[in-house]
A and B are shown apart, each in its own frame.
Chain A
Amino acid sequence: SAVISQKPSRDICQRGTSLTIQCQVDSQVTMMFWYRQQPGQSLTLIATANQGSEATYESGFVIDKFPISRPNLTFSTLTVSNMSPEDSSIYLCSVRPPGGYGYTFGSGTRLTVV
């Protein structure tokens, strides 16, 4: 299965600032997914990132707030923009390994906005 490296693992940020989260995979994958895990809530898909095309956002998530880059088949970034305390959450990167059907997750980025 694929191995995902996600950075940073945690951060504390001031409201109004932005944070970029990086996701590196050890194999080439077509799609990469970004999820959010709010305290006491279920994991929720933010967007799907395909290499060479615009990310597809789920209802309730917009590109201005969560811009995503996908420059190649092994890397993606998610930016959380103009942060507020409500953005405090765990953000997770996920991929579907080639030939596999068990989606793999990174270790997550725990974000606290103060």
Chain B
Amino acid sequence: EDQVTQSPEALRLQEGESSSLNCSYTVSGLRGLFWYRQDPGKGPEFLFTLYSAGEEKEKERLKATLTKKESFLHITAPKPEDSATYLCAAIRQGGSEKLVFGKGTKLTVNP
């Protein structure tokens, strides 16, 4: 069964303190690995899709990387507005459009 595990469950950072979030996946034939940001009371907001090991994508202070077993979301010099829950999801090869999500990492950035 496909599985996605995120760690840590929660992370507190000081403003400017860089760190990384981890997403490990067990998916039979990965087609894509997704990162989302979710703010309280809102739906997930799409950030990145990664397709193959070695691929990297960046957006402002965020950089996502992918290996054959896991993905990292690196946050450089975070600001309080980066506080949110970050979700990782995987989709397998084949006809299915099913996203398998992890439980998320709740990030809090203190000023």
Contacts and interface: CB of A to CB of B under 8 A. Distances in A.
* Chain A complexes with chain B: yes
Interface of A: 1, 4, 6, 31, 33, 35, 40-45, 48, 58, 92, 94, 96, 101-108, 110
27 contacts: A1-B46, A4-B43, A6-B43, A31-B97, A33-B97, A35-B99, A40-B103, A42-B87, A42-B101, A43-B44, A43-B87, A43-B99, A44-B101, A48-B97, A92-B43, A92-B44, A103-B34, A103-B46, A103-B99, A104-B46, A105-B36, A105-B43, A105-B46, A107-B42, A107-B43, A108-B41, A110-B41
B43 A42 contact: no
Nearest to B35: A102
Interface residues of B, number: 20
B49 A106 contact: no
Contact of B103 (A33, A41, A92, A96): A41
B78 interface: no
Contacts of A44: 101
Contacts of B103: 40-42
A42 B46 contact: no
A108 B43 contact: yes
B87 to A, nearest CB: 7
Given A1-B46, A41-B103, A43-B44, A102 B98 contact: no
B42 A108 contact: yes
